[in-house]
Every structure is written in C-alpha cells, then in structure tokens.
Amino acid sequence: MFPPVLQAITLFQQKIVVFDAAYTDVDGRAVQTPGINYNILGVIQPASPEQIEYLAEGERTDAAKLIHTRIKLKISGTGQTSQSYVRYDGDVWRVFSLGDWSGKFYRYICPKVNRRSAINA
C-alpha cells in the first residue's frame, strides 16, 4: 500500500519539462548555460503562502509552484555544479528542495524566473 502522497503522484502525474543549467566560469564570474530539455513525471500545484516562506527573501513570489515527483532534481549550492529548472505554462521556474521523503519521492518549491534572466531562453 502506497502512502497517500505517492497515490496522488501516481493518479495525477503529468509530464513536466525540465532542463539543467550548468555553471561555468567566464572571466571570473559564474555563468549559467541551459542544457537540453528532458521530461519527468510529477504533480504541479500552486504553493501555499506558508510554503513560499521557505524561499529566500528575493525569491518569494505568489506565483510559486510546488512539484512532487519521484525524480531527484539538481539544486545549486548542495554540491551540484548545475541547477534544475522547469518549463511550465510558458514560463521558467527555478527548483528549490522542500524535502526528500525516504528516497521515494521529492518535493520542490519553484519560484518563477525573471523574464530578463539569461536562463529564460
């Protein structure tokens, strides 16, 4: 018997387009280069105001999304040299971890990336 969250992921999952942006050093500053799109399965829903509070001050936005998936995505600053982003509803969303639940599934909060950002290509 699956826990309720795993049942929801199984029942309501959809295809989510993800890409990983690699960090490279260009003249002494870190620059992100978007990688190739790939698909994962998961559930996307709006983030609650309480969940948005987990984001850093400059990242908080009412438009943040919550993603539940069985796939581990890349989060910069955690020993990774790249960062995962999600393409959803015509926008790009940066992935931040909210939890690894026993390695069975992962929960992420994703604020929308500024349209002027170089990663938003």
Say if domain 4-110 classifies as CATH 2.40.10.
yes
- Give the pLDDT confidence of 14-28 residue by residue, as tens digits: 999 999 998 777 888
What does the domain layout of the chain look like in residue ranges? Answer: 4-110
- Give the pLDDT confidence of 20-71 residue by residue, as tens digits: 998 777 888 877 788 899 999 999 999 999 999 988 888 888 889 999 999 9
> Is pLDDT above 90 for 77?
no
Burial of 17-42, coded b for 16+ CB within 10 Å and e otherwise, reads ebbbbeeeeeeeeeebeeeeeeebeb
The pTM for the full model equals 0.81
CA distance 44 to 68: 7
